[in-house]
A and B are shown apart, each in its own frame.
Chain A
């Protein structure tokens, strides 16, 4: 008898969502198999890469990360255009760092204005992330939702204490909610249920399970992303059958390893951060991520090669 490859019996399928609009809109979801298990099922929509754009010029970035964007860090619109035109971003993730109460504490109106400017200037989907201060994000993202009606943004992080405010804004102005929980499958499911009860439709919801960088908790992230995918596909858990987004660049590039200069032990700093970002991204892809929020063009290149190799 010929050898038959054992196959997993899937009972679920990831729900489809569409981000953005027009010809560059991005479709996610619909996979009915574990990542890249193309011998068992299909992945109609391959994972996408969003490039980070900050609304204020970043300080304390590693030299390697700053280099590709040196000329555009003071202009989010130009930054976004460069990311799309030169580095092939499928999406833009606008990080509203200025709104952090511990930083500039920029007003919701200012944030909304920047968002509108960026989103109107480009044709790929825009992910808008607040500062993860729950109270402030509730105000900021509500305002952004309102001012950018119809642009089908992805708003996040939507968390347990502000999901009602941001969720309501997302429903009213037709945006997608990125439901963020601290690396726990049950908490992820609970927030999805709560958003569903609030009236967020299944095609307007994406899971952000929280990402740890390489060496800083990637094992936990990997495990939770993988478990969410297993529950969705093999255990038919309806409330976890959503695409997942991993906000990884921030985590990788803030580490000591990414920021330290050249050393004998750790080698060249110009390569180190890039490799760490690439490996973090690859791991998360293997676990089940659908959208990667990334920073360095070289890391992105490596990850794209990996995706095409695994789907060739």
Chain B
């Protein structure tokens, strides 16, 4: 794609961007602060910049007087880069020189990780969906050839497609005789690969092989994600330019919602407790199924796919969510020695669980490892490809439960820590999922404390998602609004830091710049929650590595999964001590790792065996047996960390002593 060069004065910082990039976004990526409080919608008029040379597409705006427009001023958020341009940052957005020097020492470049190219993580598999359709034609029965209808069909499959050892789903037999005759002995069969061979689960009239869809669902403790996949998509075509975006690959539609079980408990433990009440288990199962049905509905409606064409449902979930989804009593997950009912769940019919899909559709559930290391992490490891590579990889799934795996193709060890849902927007006053209207990037001016915020969809903000939170807290500490314990300095000259109903808070967006009837703020309690979440994940990684005699510096690669946003600013994640300080190029961000694995599994039956192999080879560490975890946790409850020597670059950039 055509690259354009943007130079920002007076700092002289420049960045190359794609032609057509938004100017405000480009500034954020270059680490240039421009005041902007409406999320980039042109409503606040604060992001005025002067175009010195070059061209940008930028409309007139009611927030910009005509004479200023004539003088070369534009609103950065409304400007599209078309040329090499030189942009002057006006005085109100500038940061003073002493700060610029400090900014100059930052990491080579702000590093935004997006879930790109992750398709390449897993190697050496062919597109051969677990559930597939084949078209067969049969001769009608005759006096000389009077084998049964089923045998006739099985023989035809064997003869025409060389598929042997096919068993049959009983339910199909009920309608088979009439169906074969109605179809004039020309049918499309749906076969599913199981542990014991192939199973014939459906037959349709005529040739329907071109329409074969699968739905994958990640049931998180806090959030449920679903995607509709077209199993007939050709991989090579989809990846022709080598720029596969793994988060979207083959997905025709996606939908998400909060897990409605939240009303019965925020974390897995309180939900297990609730399930023990009379009718509790049934209730929890019903609400999650209802929510999945809604997601399926949304997927089908937005893609226009008929429900009868969906042949497969793949579920990745942690062990508790798996058992609650299946209606299996999770009581013993919570009682020592913490044993799940089953790690390998046999396939069953979706309809039996109350899922509104065709009655031939079977559910594949990712195998679990232990009570607190579930199928979601197995799916993540599958999707990350770490089980295939010799280099040492750390996989972190940052969810309500932080799940961490270290290892390579020869060994895998895991642990799980109760992180809290802060990165998914729960437990944060204005927290939300990474959907339209969520503040996803934040920069703060170190002199005036004015923010620069960008929202998903460039609309006025309605809340803040995980990636925005990471940015905001990193910036609050970097400009000296909060101390290293996450508490506000109370003597700053700005109206943005004030005492609110929940204690001290920072105003990210005043009410007029939002779509709410309220100011969007970040409170001291929000920051505490975030610190606890990041502390527990960092400590979980540290203890896992220590238990196998390793340290962060030994890692070749770190793969991060999590639903906190569309991308992750590594530099800022290190600044708050969520991630260890390491070379940027060792990190990969895969977005929702469980969905990635579930998607791959839908496309490849070889990976079905791999998923089981992964579950079996993973050694789980019970953190409650490691007294050092509590120590590491308390040490991590600090920004960036009590062990300042582990974060030398961050420490260099903290505000000088006041």
Residues of A that sit less than 8 Å from B by CB: 160-161, 164, 184-187, 189-190, 193-194, 196-199, 239
Contacts and interface: CB of A to CB of B under 8 A. Distances in A.
Given A164-B489, A164-B490, A190-B642, A199 B658 contact: yes
Given A164-B489, A189-B642, A239-B644, A197 B634 contact: no
B642 A197 contact: no
Contacts of A186: 631, 634-635, 637-638, 642
B359 interface: no
Interface in B468-518: 483-485, 487, 489-490
B657 interface: yes
13 contacts: A164-B487, A186-B631, A186-B638, A186-B642, A190-B484, A190-B638, A193-B638, A193-B642, A193-B644, A196-B657, A197-B654, A198-B657, A199-B657
Contacts of A196: 657
Contacts of B658: 197-199
A190 B644 contact: no
Contacts of B631: 185-186
Nearest to B490: A164
Contacts of B483: 164, 194, 197-198
A164 B658 CA distance: 12
Instruction: Output the residue of B631, B638, B642 with the most chain A CB within 10 A.
Output: B642
Given A186-B634, A197-B484, 16 more contacts: A164-B483, A164-B487, A164-B489, A184-B634, A185-B631, A186-B635, A186-B638, A187-B634, A190-B637, A190-B642, A193-B484, A193-B638, A194-B485, A197-B657, A197-B658, A239-B644
A164 B504 CA distance: 14
A227 to B, nearest CB: 10
Contacts of B635: 186
A201 B637 CA distance: 24
A7 B487 CA distance: 43
Contact of A190 (B485, B489, B490, B657): B485
Contacts of B490: 164
Contacts of A189: 642
Contacts of A197: 483-484, 654, 657-658
Chain B's interface: helix, strand, loop or mixed, by majority? loop
Contacts of A187: 634
B102 to A, nearest CB: 16
B641 to A, nearest CB: 10
A163 B592 CA distance: 41
Contacts of A193: 484, 638, 642, 644
Contacts of A194: 483-485
B177 to A, nearest CB: 73
A187 B654 CA distance: 20
Contacts of B634: 184, 186-187
A213 B635 CA distance: 26
Contacts of A164: 483, 487, 489-490
A188 to B, nearest CB: 9
Nearest to B645: A237
Contacts of A239: 644
A3 B635 CA distance: 40
A184 B489 CA distance: 24
A160 B634 CA distance: 14
Nearest to A192: B642
A160 B631 CA distance: 18
Contacts of A190: 484-485, 637-638, 642
Instruction: Output the residue of A184, A197, A198 with the most chain B CB within 10 A.
Output: A197
A157 B379 CA distance: 51
Contacts of A160: 485
Contacts of A199: 657-658
Nearest to B654: A197
Nearest to B656: A197
Contacts of B657: 196-199
Interface string B123-157: 00000000000000000000000000000000000
A49 B248 CA distance: 70
Interface string B616-658: 0000000000000001001101100010100000000010011
Contacts of B654: 197
Contacts of A185: 631
A164 B490 CA distance: 9
Interface string B74-102: 00000000000000000000000000000
A229 B584 CA distance: 36
Instruction: Output the residue of B485, B487, B634, B637 with the most chain A CB within 10 A.
Output: B485
A10 to B, nearest CB: 18
B480 to A, nearest CB: 9
